[in-house]
Structure formats: structure tokens, C-alpha cells
């Protein structure tokens, strides 16, 4: 298996790691797990480490705390993270706290999910989804772009 550059979800440092499902790779900087089955919270200070420098596709959910569908979707995103890692990094971007990121990516409705690969937007989808629907949509988009 090939080594990939992966941003740590805790300290956001880049790591060269060989990702295997049966292994639990740790960050060489902070020692925490690179994959913990949880979405990482991103903001302007750390989004580029995951979006542009990491070699994992990034599925970002744009949300706000006052949004009912966003709140309903939160546990589904956690379940999806446990199903999609280590192939895809899942993230949450709170547009109330980070409005510039919502503006930068043209988010007009929440919740909105955008799937990126090395900084390029592959697809987006608005509305609350179940974990299974998130996983299916992500896998379909990645399969289309890998072909």
C-alpha cells in the first residue's frame, strides 16, 4: 500500500502514513489517532491543511447551531465518519463561527455537504441525510471521479 500525506484531526500537522483498515495510525506530532471515527471541526486557521495539503478526500458539512436539520444530521455524520474513514476525512464547518468559509465555497443553504479532493470540489448536496445516504453518495461521487 502507498504512503499518503494525512492531516491530523487534532493538531492539523501533516503526516506521511500508510493507511490500512486494521491499523490505527497516530500523528507523529501530537500522538493522537489519525482516524477516530469522528468529523473534525474546521475553521479558517486549519481548513487548508485538510483541504489542500492532505491527500485524503474531504467531505465537509457546512452547518449552524440554530439549524434544526443540521442538528438532526449530526449523529448521522458521526456514523458516516466511522464507515468512510480512512478513505475519506469528514469535517464540519460552522458557518455562524466561520462565515468567510461559507462565502468562500458559495454555501447558500445549510446543511450543505461538499466533497473535495485535493482542493477541487467534486460534488455538493444540500439537505439532511442519513448516515447510509451520506456514505452511498460519497462512494458514488468518488467512483465517478476515479474512473
The answer to whether residue 21 scores a pLDDT higher than 70 is no
Indicate the number of domains in the chain: 1
The per-residue pLDDT of the chain, averaged, comes to 93
Contacts of 83 (CB under 8 A, 6+ apart): 131, 135
Q: Write the secondary structure of the chain as one string of H (helix), E (strand) and C (coil).
A: CCEEEEECCCCCCEEEEECCCCCCCECCCCCCECCCCCCEECCCCCHHHHHHHCCCCEEEEEECCCCHHHHHHHHHHHHHHHHHCCCCEEEEEECCCCHHHHHHCCCCCCCEEEEEECCEEEEEEECCCCHHHHHHHHHHHHHHHHC
Please indicate, yes or no, if residue 119 is contained in any of the structural domains: yes
Q: Burial letters for 46-57: b for 16+ Cβ neighbours within 10 Å, e otherwise?
A: bbebbbeebbbb
Confidence at residue 17, expressed as pLDDT on a 0 to 100 scale: 73
Please indicate, yes or no, if residue 53 is contained in any of the structural domains: yes
Please indicate, yes or no, if residue 125 is contained in any of the structural domains: yes
- From the candidates 8, 11, 30, 67, which is the catalytic residue? 67
Please indicate, yes or no, if residue 120 is contained in any of the structural domains: yes
The answer to whether residue 3 scores a pLDDT higher than 60 is yes
Quote the domain boundaries for residue 110.
Answer: 37-146
What CATH number should be reported for the domain holding residue 109?
3.40.30.10
Please indicate, yes or no, if residue 10 is contained in any of the structural domains: no
Please indicate, yes or no, if residue 130 is contained in any of the structural domains: yes
Q: Would residue 70 show up in a list of annotated catalytic residues for this protein?
A: yes
Assess whether the previous peptide bond of 86 is cis (omega < 30° from 0): yes
Please indicate, yes or no, if residue 80 is contained in any of the structural domains: yes
Q: Would residue 27 show up in a list of annotated catalytic residues for this protein?
A: no
- pLDDT, tens digit, 9 for 90 and up, residues 49-104: 999 999 999 999 999 999 999 999 999 999 999 999 999 999 999 999 999 999 99
Please indicate, yes or no, if residue 131 is contained in any of the structural domains: yes
Contacts of 12 (CB under 8 A, 6+ apart): 46, 49, 50
Amino acid at each position: 500500500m502507498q504512503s499518503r500525506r494525512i492531516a491530523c484531526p487534532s493538531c492539523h500537522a501533516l503526516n506521511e502514513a500508510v493507511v490500512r483498515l486494521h491499523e490505527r495510525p497516530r500523528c507523529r506530532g501530537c500522538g493522537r489517532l489519525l482516524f477516530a471515527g469522528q468529523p473534525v471541526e474546521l475553521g479558517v486557521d486549519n481548513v487548508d491543511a485538510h483541504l489542500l495539503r492532505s491527500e485524503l478526500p474531504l467531505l465537509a458539512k457546512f452547518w449552524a447551531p440554530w439549524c434544526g436539520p443540521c442538528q438532526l444530521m449530526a449523529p448521522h455524520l458521526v456514523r458516516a465518519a466511522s464507515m468512510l474513514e480512512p478513505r475519506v476525512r469528514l469535517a464540519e464547518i460552522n458557518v455562524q463561527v466561520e462565515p468567510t468559509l461559507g462565502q468562500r465555497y458559495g454555501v447558500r443553504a445549510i446543511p450543505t455537504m461538499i466533497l473535495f479532493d485535493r482542493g477541487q470540489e467534486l460534488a455538493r448536496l444540500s439537505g439532511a441525510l442519513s448516515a447510509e445516504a451520506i456514505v452511498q453518495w460519497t462512494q458514488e461521487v468518488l467512483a465517478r471521479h476515479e474512473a
